[in-house]
Amino acid sequence: MSIPPNIVLILADNLGWGELGCYGGGVLRGAPTPRIDALAAEGLKCLNFNVESDCVPTRSALMTGRHPIRTGAMQSIPAGLPQGLIPWEVTLGDLMKKQGYATACYGKWHLGDRPGRLPHDRGFDDWYGIPRTSNESMFTSTPGYDSDVVPLPYVMEGQAGKAARELHVYDLEARRKIDGELTDRTIAFMREQAAKKTPFFAYVPLTQLHFPTLPHHDFAGRTKAGDFADSMVEMDHRVGQMLDAIAELGIADDTLFIFGSDNGPEFRRPWRGTAGPWTGTYHTAMEGSLRVPFIFRWPGRIAAGGATNEIIHIVDLYTTLAGIAGAQVPADRPIDGVDQLDFLLGKRATSNREGFVYFIKDELRAAKWRNWKMHVVWEVEPNDGPIHLESPRIFNLLQDPKEETDVGTEHNWVRGPIRRMILDFQNSLKANPPIPSGSPDGFTPKPKS
């Protein structure tokens, strides 16, 4: 490709597989999603797109192409401490910027909240959003909250080469307004770059539907089905605003537009979501945690109206988008992502991966291979207490999408290829020891000699 395409990557927060109309939800959930449904009809709808266990690990996998067990970005660490990605990691923003892209991150980062680890320090020219997560918006409304012990959460902005600024407290009112602000910033960024004819990468990690799931005032009461449904309708509208801006700028054919979710649905009530036909929520190894909605639209390149049950993993976006931009992924560390461009473009019939391993924090929980799933630790609901299985449970996901019937005895052969995949990954961890969670900025991993 002589002129690299623009890339817009919208990542919803805790949007379950079963929420959108095009995935069986929508009106059924009291919240029509016509704009995202139309987006799916214009591109490729993924039915087997897989992510990590929760917000931090999924975002680290996206930004590095590496499973979070490698990067140490497996969970949140208290504010101000070394959390997220160490500076040694090469982010997707770094790769894009090196290829001449204008880069922006508008939304929830959750990969570091101190100088040197914020988006504008990690490959993004411009950033506006929150460094950590949306539930912090509840702090100031909580009786007994002490800002001397836990710092106030702020909406922030930063430009590359400059210190970030704290703009205003991220409270419940700010939580309602922020996705509208993220959308406005994204549209302004796209207009500016289109006028300059500069290829751009806009990473837009929205805050909906993370708890507290509160809609903008313009959408409050819209569905008469509650805050959750109103927030879904707002999210659909925000995606539509960005799509409309791309159409108005006349750059749709030159823009790869991606919409997806970082995790399976929220498990906490009253904000609990749904994974549709799959069992479970995020923070587990059930399919309801792993599988999320993901849609790719690239007019004239990706065929419209397609749907696929081929396995794709969030780490694959790193390698695939790097290839589209003409960037080389780092060769001095294990990269777990594989290039899926030929599959997305219809040049090959199957995904470029057959399976993957799945950790929660530093514990191997399960592995998927073809249409099979093997659990070595069993936990259907978060906080139920994981059961470490003496004999792994195996499920055929085509015949048993809810993972109810263990077929490990009659299909014992499946253990072989899955065990080999697990062993290969474990050997890779031995050769390239994981970065300890909470490592300081100067930490440099060294492979074992």
Q: What are the pLDDT digits (tens) for 175-225?
A: 999 999 999 999 999 999 999 999 999 999 999 999 999 999 999 999 999
Cα dihedral 22, 234, 219, 152 sign: positive
Q: Tell me the pairing of strands 200-205 and 6-12.
A: parallel
- Say what the pLDDT of residue 81 is: 80
Q: Is residue 337 domain-shared with residue 362, that is, in the same domain? A: no
Which residues is 155 bridged to in the sheet? Answer: 168
Asked if residue 441 belongs to a domain, the reply is: no
Distance CA(106)–CA(128), nearest Å, equals 5
- Cα–Cα distance for residue pair 266/209, rounded to 1 Å: 8
* 256 and 150 share one domain: yes
**Separation of alpha carbons 103 and 40, rounded Å:** 25
DSSP assigned state of 351: -
**In a shared domain, residues 187 and 44:** yes
What range does the domain containing 88 cover?
Answer: 6-344
Which of 344, 366, 388 delimits the end of a domain? 344
Q: Kindly tell me if the per-residue pLDDT of 311 is higher than 90.
A: yes
Does the annotation mark 411 as catalytic? Answer: no
Do 134 and 188 fall within a single domain? yes
| Confidence band of 1 (pLDDT split at 50, 70, 90) | very low
110 is a catalytic site residue: yes
Strand 363-369 relative to strand 372-378, pairing: antiparallel
Does residue 448 sit within a domain? no
DSSP conformation letters of 253-272: GGEEEEEEESSS---STTS-
Whole-number pLDDT of residue 147 = 92
Q: Specify whether 362 is located in the same domain as 334.
A: no
Do 84 and 206 reside in the same domain of the chain? yes
Q: pLDDT band for 2, please (50, 70, 90 cuts).
A: low
Nearest to 287 by CA among 344, 358, 231: 358
H-helix or E-strand spanning residue 158? strand 154-159
Same domain, residue pair 303 and 393: no
The partner residues of 393 in beta bridges, in order of sequence, read 375
The answer to whether the beta carbons of residues 293 and 250 sit under 8 Å apart is: no
The verdict on residue 330 lying in a domain is yes
* Residue at which a domain ends, from 319, 344, 369: 344
Question: Tens digits of per-residue pLDDT, 62-90?
Answer: 999 999 999 999 877 777 788 899 999 99
* Same structural domain, 177 and 245: yes
367, 268: one domain = no
Determine the Cα–Cα distance for residues 432 and 71; give it in Å rounded to an integer: 11
Count of domains for the chain: 2
Q: Quick check: bond before 299 cis, omega within 30?
A: no
Question: What does the alpha-carbon distance between residue 103 and residue 125 come to, in Å, rounded to a whole number?
Answer: 5
Q: In this predicted model, what pLDDT tens digit does every residue of 296-305 receive, in sequence order? A: 999 999 999 9
Position 447 pLDDT exceeds 80? no
pTM over 0.95: yes
Residue 449: its pLDDT value, please? 53
Which one of 22, 55, 237, 313 is the catalytic residue?
Answer: 55
* Same domain (yes/no): 278, 137: yes
Q: Do 234 and 336 lie in a common domain?
A: yes
Whichever domain contains 412, its CATH number is: 3.30.1120.10
Where residue 152 falls among pLDDT bands split at 50, 70, 90? Answer: very high
| Mean pLDDT (whole number) for 8-22 | 98
User: In this predicted model, what pLDDT tens digit does every residue of 253-299 receive, in sequence order?
Assistant: 999 999 999 999 999 899 999 999 999 999 999 999 999 999 999 99
Same domain, residue pair 134 and 194 = yes
Identify the active-site residue in 110, 283, 313, 375: 110
